[in-house]
Structure 1
């Protein structure tokens, strides 16, 4: 691809903007805690090699996994490419590092807010069909 081909890559622009919303929500939560009933359901692709999750979770969730950030979470950190958090699974606290590129959905049910970040096949870049101007008949 040359520069002209990727100049207006709308899929990437939209996905990046949606991820910025998630980053903002997670950063605020890491700085101030969670309040006013907010809580997050985050679904991500467990096959993404950039993610760091325990092997037993990969086996239990071979394709996608949803985590909940509500009452019991610790050490939430937000970086440019990923966020990390400690969550309790089966009575044990585990550390997860989730790359933003693997996110599929971000939901805050307390305010009926849902983002679908799995947009790759949903945005179709087609050239619009332009109507041809009809020639006027001259009399």
Structure 2
């Protein structure tokens, strides 16, 4: 019996663990310096909790910003709860980690993107990609992990 190692799934699990760790630190100590997050999530994902008017306004996905004002950040095992201000209306949200599609901290040019498990190759026709036909293609870059290790 042959089995494969599902590196893609393992990587997604590790990256979601990173998000959980970062949010837990922010819940305990606050956002340091200029750090702030753009978090895009699937509003239809099982377990997502948000006000009906927000679900109606964002029927597929929504991007929230954690920067100047947020309250009640509670980081759990499977997701996080947070209260954000939408036009002077504080609204509680609960977002499972598995519902997250992108996590970006533009202050340090860091970002994670998760491919949706229901992404179908037929959907590629709906994605608009702009490319310059004569633009040179960059070569792949190999980065040695040794450069990140402490001596």
What TM-score results when the alignment is normalised by the length of structure 1?
Answer: 0.80
Helix, strand or coil at the partner of 2:53? helix
Q: How far has the Cα of 1:119 moved from its partner?
A: 5.7
Q: How far has the Cα of 1:83 moved from its partner?
A: 0.4
Which structure exhibits the higher relative contact order, with contacts defined as CA atoms closer than 8 Å and separated by 6 or more residues? 1
The structure that has the greater radius of gyration is: 1
Aligned mates of 1:65, 1:108 — CA distance in 2: 16
Say if 2:9 is the partner of 1:12.
Answer: yes
Say if 2:104 is the partner of 1:113.
Answer: no
Aligned mates of 1:119, 1:93 — CA distance in 2: 29
Which residue does 1:133 correspond to in 2? none
Show structure 1 runs of 5+ residues with no match.
122-139
Q: How many residues align?
A: 119
Helix, strand or coil at the partner of 1:105? strand
Q: How far has the Cα of 1:90 moved from its partner?
A: 2.0
CA offsets 1:36-92 (integer angstroms, 9 cap, x no match): 100000000001121011110011101000000011000101111010000011211
Say if 2:85 is the partner of 1:88.
Answer: yes
Aligned mates of 2:53, 2:8 — CA distance in 1: 33
What TM-score results when the alignment is normalised by the length of structure 2?
Answer: 0.73
> Contact 1:11 / 1:119 at 8 angstroms: preserved in 2?
no
Q: In terms of mean alpha carbon deviation, does 10-19 or 37-46 score higher?
A: 10-19
Which residue does 1:59 correspond to in 2? 56
1:47 counterpart (44, 49, 57): 44
Aligned mates of 1:54, 1:115 — CA distance in 2: 26
Say if 2:16 is the partner of 1:22.
Answer: no
Q: What do you get for the CA RMSD once the two structures are aligned?
A: 1.8
Say if 2:105 is the partner of 1:99.
Answer: no
